[in-house]
Chain A
């Protein structure tokens, strides 16, 4: 049986360097940092493409502003066959709002004759870290959900998913249709090929509007933690600092033998 998963991605600020807040303190300003797809979702995309390789087609979706098309095209370039864009300001949407919009896409695609038996999401978004969208989606759809897994395979109408739990490596088995949230670490996301990138540039993207006004997140405001003062002791520059480094090792007692 072939499965055509839906995989959900989010355009997030690439917070690898300094984080700057927007003026209204309601979001992170990405103008300097740039944007990316969260690491967990890159793995979810990879899993969706692998699952669809068995005769299905993976659809990628996002709820985001116009620029989020970049994240959709990145997923199309690595093998997703179709893309859906719910055009909206993601900052105005709380986890329950996003879950409702994903559920609406699932229902509409089913009504259009292209059902998704499986929805893959990241375990938590790199920016808001809410840990809820996948679970809220499962309740919207009335489907079972597993969380924070690294590998997902589908066979005979069943999902097998594995991840690391508090007591060891856990295996979950659940019937389709199902929701799965993915943690980085089980698969290596592939790099887009040149033809993949070319194809993604031209691929059509289904554009939609949200089905309802958002309730919004329960955010009051964002704040930055106070920077901790630097107390670094510079031992030197270049290879000439080797004796000072080894002195430190001796002082810390890590050189003993």
Chain B
């Protein structure tokens, strides 16, 4: 049996990456001869949520409820998840490779004294159970053996496409209140504030993003880039070098440790395209790279490129836009 920790939005919907994890669990279950899949959620789900999980193949939906689960604690969630898994005798415990998923499953692994594979993208064999996962920010892959039971892993975001099952599961709701030790509640969320209305929100949803990296040269080197952003009604997104040098604020950073963007058009100017930056911009539909180096990874991965100095190209582009607008 496979147990999947499922995350739910404040509006009570299954998050996309958890639906991906359910989809992956089904592939695994099928390869294992049709073992059942149980979903675990924290809080009391409504019928629609149970229905969604059933449509993704859940035989049962275990709801962890009670005071111990009212605010997040990685150790408490892990205690609940393990209680379900022990009773069900599951051979696999999995979740989406989100911050929560990786944290809770690392607790499960530590408590069980077993290895955990974070950010798995595929499995290649069931015996020995071998998974492939992303390492070095996705620049390399690691084949990892999870031969002990339960096998504990998280699934990297978008490694598979979330698709409902051909035949829905029974989706039987089981409300659980597993005991949680006081020690597991020592590190819990004491307050959650709505995210500040910072500009990364607009960056994440922007249709066009003008990107700038070390090639901008200095804090003053952004004038033409900001003008281009204004002319295109675009947001500005920068590389980490730019924020660590203090040229622009951190909330403008795109990448593994910044915002992940998926605009219709991304225009990275003077950005090399390091893997950690690419992690945040690879979902852009069209990429127009502007760089002095024709071999920069950002140029070779882009859809379009212009080779040369951004300080010469951007003013010329701005002038051309103004000219056409009359």
Partner-B contacts on A (CB < 8 A): 13, 15-17, 19, 21, 28, 39-40, 94-96, 99, 124, 126-132, 135-136, 138-139, 142, 144-148, 164-175, 178, 183-185, 188-189, 217-225, 228, 230-246, 248-250, 252, 254-255, 257
Q: Is the CB of A168 within 8 A of B99?
A: no
Residues in A whose Cβ lies below 8 Å from that of B207 = 254
Let me know if B167 is at the binding interface, CB within 8 A: no
Q: Is the CB of A132 within 8 A of B116?
A: yes
Q: Bound complex: CA of A183 vs CA of B255, how far in Å?
A: 13
**A225 and B141 in contact (CB under 8 A), knowing A129-B118, A188-B244, A235-B306?**
yes
Let me know if B297 is at the binding interface, CB within 8 A: yes
Q: Tell me, rounded to whole Å, the shortest Cβ–Cβ distance linking B21 to chain A.
A: 15
CB-CB nearest in chain A for B136: A15
Q: Is the CB of B257 within 8 A of A183?
A: yes
Q: Is the CB of B300 within 8 A of A230?
A: yes
Q: A16-B276, A39-B240, A255-B232 are in contact. List 9 more A-B contacts (CB 8 A).
A: A21-B140, A129-B118, A131-B102, A132-B116, A169-B192, A175-B186, A238-B306, A245-B288, A248-B304
**A167 and B103 in contact (CB under 8 A), knowing A221-B143, A249-B321?**
no
Q: Bound complex: CA of A132 vs CA of B145, how far in Å?
A: 17
B window 295-315: CB within 8 A of A: 297, 299-309, 312-313, 315
Let me know if B86 is at the binding interface, CB within 8 A: no
In-complex Cβ contact of A225 among B9, B140, B289, B307 (8 A)? B140
CB-CB nearest in chain A for B191: A171
In-complex Cβ contact of B109 among A16, A132, A146, A171 (8 A)? A132
**A239 and B316 in contact (CB under 8 A), knowing A166-B98, A170-B189?**
yes
Q: Is the CB of B309 within 8 A of A238?
A: yes
Q: Tell me, rounded to whole Å, the shortest Cβ–Cβ distance linking A144 to chain B.
A: 4
Q: Is the CB of A15 within 8 A of B115?
A: no
A–B complex contacts, Cβ < 8 Å, 18 sampled: A15-B275, A99-B110, A126-B137, A131-B106, A131-B118, A147-B74, A148-B103, A167-B10, A169-B192, A170-B189, A171-B193, A185-B258, A218-B115, A220-B130, A224-B141, A235-B306, A241-B308, A245-B317
Residues in B whose Cβ lies below 8 Å from that of A224 = 139-141
Q: Tell me, rounded to whole Å, the shortest Cβ–Cβ distance linking B190 to chain A.
A: 5
**A132 and B110 in contact (CB under 8 A), knowing A148-B103, A235-B306, A246-B317?**
yes
Q: Tell me, rounded to whole Å, the shortest Cβ–Cβ distance linking A182 to chain B.
A: 11
| Chain A-chain B contacts (Cβ-Cβ < 8 Å), number | 252
Partner-A contacts on B (CB < 8 A): 7, 9-10, 15, 72, 74-75, 98-100, 102-103, 106-107, 109-111, 113, 115-119, 130, 132-146, 154, 183, 186-196, 207-208, 232-234, 240, 244, 246, 250, 253, 257-258, 264-265, 272, 274-276, 286, 288-289, 294, 297, 299-309, 312-313, 315-317, 319-321, 324-325
Q: Bound complex: CA of A35 vs CA of B119, how far in Å?
A: 23
Q: Bound complex: CA of A146 vs CA of B185, how far in Å?
A: 11
Q: Is the CB of A238 within 8 A of B308?
A: yes
Residues in A whose Cβ lies below 8 Å from that of B186 = 144, 174-175
Q: Is the CB of A129 within 8 A of B305?
A: no
Q: Bound complex: CA of A126 vs CA of B232, how far in Å?
A: 35
Q: Is the CB of B107 within 8 A of A246?
A: no
Q: Bound complex: CA of A135 vs CA of B103, how far in Å?
A: 8
Q: Is the CB of A234 within 8 A of B306?
A: yes
| 7 A-B pairs with the lowest CB-CB distances in the bound complex, closest first | A239-B316, A144-B186, A242-B316, A144-B187, A238-B308, A220-B143, A16-B274
**A219 and B142 in contact (CB under 8 A), knowing A173-B190, A183-B257?**
yes
Q: Tell me, rounded to whole Å, the shortest Cβ–Cβ distance linking A47 to chain B.
A: 15
**A249 and B232 in contact (CB under 8 A), knowing A220-B130, A222-B142, A236-B306?**
yes
Q: Bound complex: CA of A131 vs CA of B140, how far in Å?
A: 16
Q: Bound complex: CA of A244 vs CA of B68, how far in Å?
A: 60
CB-CB nearest in chain B for A220: B143
**A131 and B103 in contact (CB under 8 A), knowing A19-B136, A238-B308?**
yes
Residues in B whose Cβ lies below 8 Å from that of A178 = 187
Q: Tell me, rounded to whole Å, the shortest Cβ–Cβ distance linking B8 to chain A.
A: 9
Q: Is the CB of A28 within 8 A of B106?
A: no
Q: Bound complex: CA of A17 vs CA of B276, how far in Å?
A: 10
Residues in B whose Cβ lies below 8 Å from that of A28 = 136, 140
